[in-house]
Amino acid sequence: MGYNFTDIEQKWQEYWERNKTNKTVEDPSRKKLYILDMFPYPSGAGLHVGHPEGYTATDIFTRFQRLNGVNVLHPIGWDAFGLPAERYAMQTNIHPSVTTEENINTFRRQIKMLGLSYDWDREVNTTDPEYYRWTQWIFLKIYNSWFDFRVNKARPISELIAEFEKQGCSKIDCTLYCGNNDCCFNANGWRMMSELEQQKVLIDFRLVYIAEIPVNWCEALGTVLANEEVDEWVEKGYTVERKPMRQWMMRITAYSERLLEDAAQLDWPSSTVEMQKNWIGRSEGAEVDFAIAGSSEKIRVFTTRPDTIFGATYMVLAPEHPLVDSVTTNAQKKEVETYKKQSILKSELDRGMDKDKTGVFTGGFAVNPATGKEIPIWIADYVLMGYGFGAIMAVPAHDERDWEFAKKFNLPIIEVVKSPHDVNENFYVAKEEPCVNSSNSEVSINGLSYADAFTKIVGWFESKGIGRKKINYKLRDWLFSRQRYWGEPIPIIHWEDGTMSCVDEKELPLKLPNLAKFQPSGTTESPLAIAADWVNVVEPKSGKKGRRETNTMPQWAGSCWYYLRYIDPKNDTIFCDIEKQKYWLPIDLYIGGAEHAVLHLMYARFWHKVLYDLGYVTTSEPFMKLRHQGTILGENNKKMSKSLGNVVNPDDVVNEYGADALRLFEMFMGPLEEMKPWSTKGVEGVYRFLNRVWRLYLTEDEKLNPLITDGQPTQDFLRVYHQTVKKVTEDIPALRFNTAIAKMMIFVNEANKQESLSKRLMEQFIIVLSPFAPHLAEELWSRFGHTESIFKSASWPSFDESLTIMNTVEVVAQVNGKIRAKFLAPLDTPEVTLKDLALAEPNMKVHLDGKQIVKEIIVKNKLVNLVVK
């Protein structure tokens, strides 16, 4: 029988709720901290033990900081749009909003049961029209923006239109937007365009645009998936195929450089920064144009090895490349068509699976600008349309893939970098050796190192107007539309004349229509297409007919800015007041799963940067410090899963041991960021500790322990106390909760040995314990006669460094680095005395007997090491 945690925890949870103990308001006179948990998706399964891990960590930090007088914003809310609720609706015809609300209620109850100190007045829910009104509003802000590479930031599209009206696109490098300069126009040209033509031009500039692209279509789900999402669903057994479709895209690629650069200053796990870096995939190289023999057209390629251009013996286009048809000769047409069809059907995943090189000759030839020779043009699916220009110059001698391909199809291999072996036997990709066989009448890079050859040959490209230095990124634009019902409607109307317009800001939120059935529409459109009343619109003035966009936003949209809404959750004139942001931003600590390393964390940074450029947010980065909680495995050391039957339900743990025990155990298991297995015995261990605390303070009949008096503590116990305060004070900000708890256990063990206990110390210890076990702490605090919450009436105790130190220390005596004796000496005993004390140890004498001391190492308060021969 332990203490009655059920009553105590319920009592204090009700107290906090009634008294709004955790309510937070701006107070410029106080230091602030914004401590955030990753937005939970309220699934039907309820909370699992992984949730309380991160939540408890931030809660302890929050409570600790509040006890230190810091004004802490610590909110929670629900990322509630998403496919599971919609799939449930397809099966049952129960509206997703109904299941969503039920799930949220479960999550809220469970989270409150854990005693987390959220300010519940700031709770947000992405499916609430008052919330997604602003998601739509931000979407429109992004849509109505363009990225100006001249100033490296987003600007309102109206400023671009103003510029076009004045001077056309003369001051803009159009190649960065529409890929060529062919469409360029002057001010008059712009004015002469119809509205539809103008809109088409602007599409290439907007940060949100529609494109016909091959996407990952999942028939069973009735929706497309982002590249990043494909694996997840394929793993679950769904089939994902490639299909060209009209899709909404967000131009995240415009921010490649800034997302990369700014990541360096963030206090994030290095592995996460590294993953984002790899995802962005910056590489420096050159773009070069290869003329097509017998044509005025050119093939543009990206290469990181322009130094090897003299070795380019053939070219490869991606099967989807727009020039494929025009370079293909009649003789090769059939073969090329067949190959194209095959590879377009294959998903990128399938293409990657099979590393065996395949391809076909188009019959066409290009001219290598360095050698002047004609080289064959092939198509092959090892060249991807989505990277670079979807075309490569193949240098088989110095590239693994090109070498394999050349070997298979008998294409010439020419050594242009001095290689340690015959390049016909194997490729050589290293950059250490100088160039060879690389000269023509205008330029020679023979004998030059990689760096010098790179500079010289790119200089030659530039002088000839056929190429230039180029930085390329792996990052691709974000596929933003989903053919779903349960998501934010995209506030765009398509008119019968082909033009598009935004839903007026004043009409937001554009609410989801009520549907009775949620099955896919049968076409590739979302179920919204069925809601005729909602979809079809007429412009009141002109009578022009239009159709609403039926795609909805992906689940990531709502979580891209939720942390801003928490700052100002009820504002109905703006998504977040800028003055409030100035106080609260940026987020000082963000804790959540590592599975969001690239997706959520990259998308949110992107939106934040756009809003920053447009002047709606005050910082360039949202999350300054990020940590991931480690996965909690089942008791059998395997990932928790229903099929393995090793899932632990927090409800059960709380029922049996209480929330304080659950919190304490999750923190005691090991380092926050590491993966670690659950242990029911371990929960019992910390539960025993809480009971020891209870009994230390209260007698059997719940009277204050009579040993607690106004007397003085012993020197030794006073030291343990100060050591405990120090350890916990230092460990909490460093998120080392396991060692902080260990020290508190030592304190309680020592306290139990005392013949009398200082009331002052014992009261202070409750404060030290309170961030970890807030319910128990509140209860004990009240037993000392306090009438207000510990978190309102107490402040974090200070420690005296000098009192943490022992005045007698144990010193180790070593001979040749091996411990031969230990002895006690007063603190700061001089070295000479330490040596004498060591020499006096009987066992030292044994080991020193007959030997000569050649060296003495004496470390004050620690050790004496005598080196002998």
Size of the site for RNA (CB under 7 A): 96
183-222 residues near RNA, rule: CB under 7 A: none
Instruction: Tell which residue, 826, 734, 869, 778, has the closest CA to residue 8.
Output: 778
Of the candidates 59, 229, 381, 763, which one interacts with RNA according to CB under 7 A? 381
- Comparison of 70 and 598: residue with beta carbon closer to RNA: 598
Query: Shortest gap between Cβ of 743 and RNA (angstroms)?
Result: 8
84-113 residues near RNA, rule: CB under 7 A: none
532-571 residues near RNA, rule: CB under 7 A: none
471-510 residues near RNA, rule: CB under 7 A: 472, 474
Using CB under 7 A, which of the segments 87-95, 144-152, 322-330, 730-738 binds RNA?
730-738
Query: Shortest gap between Cβ of 347 and RNA (angstroms)?
Result: 10
- Comparison of 498 and 817: residue with beta carbon closer to RNA: 817
Pattern 826-845, RNA, x by CB under 7 A: -----------------x--
Query: Three-class SS of residue 820?
Result: strand
- Comparison of 122 and 600: residue with beta carbon closer to RNA: 600
Of the candidates 676, 719, 722, 775, which one interacts with RNA according to CB under 7 A? 676
Question: How far is residue 501's CA from residue 453's CA, in Å, rounded to a whole number?
Answer: 51
The answer to whether 49 touches 650, Cβ cutoff 8 Å, is yes
Q: Looking at this protein, which amino acid is placed at residue 332?
A: Q
Which residues neighbour 356 within 8 Å (Cβ) at sequence distance 6 or greater? none
The answer to whether 696 touches 3, Cβ cutoff 8 Å, is no
- Comparison of 344 and 384: residue with beta carbon closer to RNA: 384
743-762 residues near RNA, rule: CB under 7 A: 745-746, 749, 752-753
Residue 655 in contact with RNA, rule: CB under 7 A? no
Pattern 596-615, RNA, x by CB under 7 A: -xx-----------------
Query: Three-class SS of residue 867?
Result: strand
Residue 817 in contact with RNA, rule: CB under 7 A? yes
Pattern 392-411, RNA, x by CB under 7 A: x------x-x--x-------
H-helix segments, 626-679 = 650-657, 659-668
Using CB under 7 A, which of the segments 97-105, 179-187, 564-572, 816-824 binds RNA?
816-824
In this structure, the number of other CB atoms found within 10 A of the CB of residue 581 comes to 17
In the numeric block, which tokens belong to residue 778? 């509140």
Query: Shortest gap between Cβ of 818 and RNA (angstroms)?
Result: 6
Residue with tokens 């679950």: 236
- Comparison of 172 and 811: residue with beta carbon closer to RNA: 811
- Comparison of 388 and 650: residue with beta carbon closer to RNA: 388
Query: Shortest gap between Cβ of 19 and RNA (angstroms)?
Result: 33
In this structure, the number of other CB atoms found within 10 A of the CB of residue 69 comes to 10
Pattern 285-304, RNA, x by CB under 7 A: x---------------xxxx
Burial of 161 per CB tally in 10 Å (0-12, 13-18, 19+):
middle
Residue 732 in contact with RNA, rule: CB under 7 A? no
Using CB under 7 A, which of the segments 116-124, 388-396, 432-440, 773-781 binds RNA?
388-396
Which residues neighbour 595 within 8 Å (Cβ) at sequence distance 6 or greater? none
Question: How far is residue 833's CA from residue 861's CA, in Å, rounded to a whole number?
Answer: 11
Left if phi > 0, otherwise alpha if psi is -120 to 50, otherwise beta: which for 701? alpha
Of the candidates 164, 279, 310, 314, which one interacts with RNA according to CB under 7 A? 279
The answer to whether 295 touches 361, Cβ cutoff 8 Å, is no
Residue 271 in contact with RNA, rule: CB under 7 A? yes
Using CB under 7 A, which of the segments 144-152, 185-193, 683-691, 765-773 binds RNA?
683-691
Query: DSSP strand E in 602-658: where?
Result: 626-628, 632-633
Of the candidates 669, 762, 769, 790, which one interacts with RNA according to CB under 7 A? 669
Of the candidates 129, 189, 363, 682, which one interacts with RNA according to CB under 7 A? 682
Query: Shortest gap between Cβ of 558 and RNA (angstroms)?
Result: 22
Pattern 793-812, RNA, x by CB under 7 A: -----------------x-x
- Comparison of 270 and 542: residue with beta carbon closer to RNA: 270
The HSE-up count of residue 663 (CA atoms within 13 Å, CB side) is 28
Using CB under 7 A, which of the segments 19-27, 67-75, 120-128, 854-862 binds RNA?
854-862
Burial of 650 per CB tally in 10 Å (0-12, 13-18, 19+):
buried
Query: DSSP strand E in 142-270: where?
Result: 145-148, 153-156, 208-218, 223-225, 241-250
Residue with tokens 């306090």: 786
- Comparison of 430 and 574: residue with beta carbon closer to RNA: 430
322-361 residues near RNA, rule: CB under 7 A: 348, 351-352, 354-358
Residue 387 in contact with RNA, rule: CB under 7 A? yes
Which residues neighbour 48 within 8 Å (Cβ) at sequence distance 6 or greater? 640, 647, 648, 649, 650
Of the candidates 42, 311, 388, 622, which one interacts with RNA according to CB under 7 A? 388
Question: How far is residue 137's CA from residue 553's CA, in Å, rounded to a whole number?
Answer: 13
Residue 226 in contact with RNA, rule: CB under 7 A? no
* 309 secondary structure, DSSP code: G
Using CA atoms, how far residue 433 sits from 396, 416, 420, 452, in Å, is 17, 10, 9, 12
- Comparison of 86 and 731: residue with beta carbon closer to RNA: 731
